Amino acid sequence: MFDFTLTARDGRARAGTFSTPHGDLLTPVFAPVGTQATVKTLTPEHLKDINASLVLSNTYHLYLRPGDDLVAEMGGLHRFMKWPRPMLTDSGGFQVFSLAQTRKIDDDGVTFKSHIDGSTHRFTPERSIRIQENLGADIVMAFDECSDPNDHAYSRVAMQRTH
């Protein structure tokens, strides 16, 4: 299913090939961001033309709109956005930081207030993974809390909560 082969090393730097069900990624990799399953101003054909090997999409935003269940019904992100190469979904963790004014954190997860309609939505680590599986991502990220870098003590709490 997955394989990583180290292809070069220079001191602490390294390069490799990461194999996924939808193709190989040469690492390090540049990943265009398609927050809502589209890379703004570029079609999937443009992405192929520039040899993009991975697209990153956002779990939180796709969950809200169009919904992970709908994406799953349509065959997953690859079919939904007509992208045959690997997909990575973030966990929604960055929104814990960026939507600080409209969310509440506890030790089990985060409750978000939608910026679209004001409805509330609960993300736990398990729910984030289920949503990412529904989306059909090749690579999923753990639900983490991105904390403010200026508060070392709180950053430690957030790191421990994440782990």
Measured between alpha carbons, how far is 157 from 147 in angstroms, rounded to an integer? 9
Q: How far apart are CA 1 and CA 57, in angstroms?
A: 21
Q: Which domains are delineated in the chain?
A: 3-162 (3.20.20.105)
Give pLDDT, residue 130: 98
Within 8 A by CB and 6+ apart from 74, the residues are 80
- d(CA 144, CA 159) in angstroms, rounded, equals 8
Q: How far is CA 40 from CA 34, 37, 46, in A?
A: 7, 9, 11
**Regions of the chain short of the pLDDT cut 70:** none
> What is the pLDDT, as a whole number, of residue 146?
85
Q: What is the mean pLDDT of the chain?
A: 94
**For residue 26, what are the CA distances in angstroms to 16, 18, 35, 72?**
6, 6, 22, 28
In this prediction the pTM is 0.91
Structure tokens at 103: 């969310």
Please state, in angstroms and rounded to a whole number, the distance separating the CA atoms of residues 78 and 143.
22
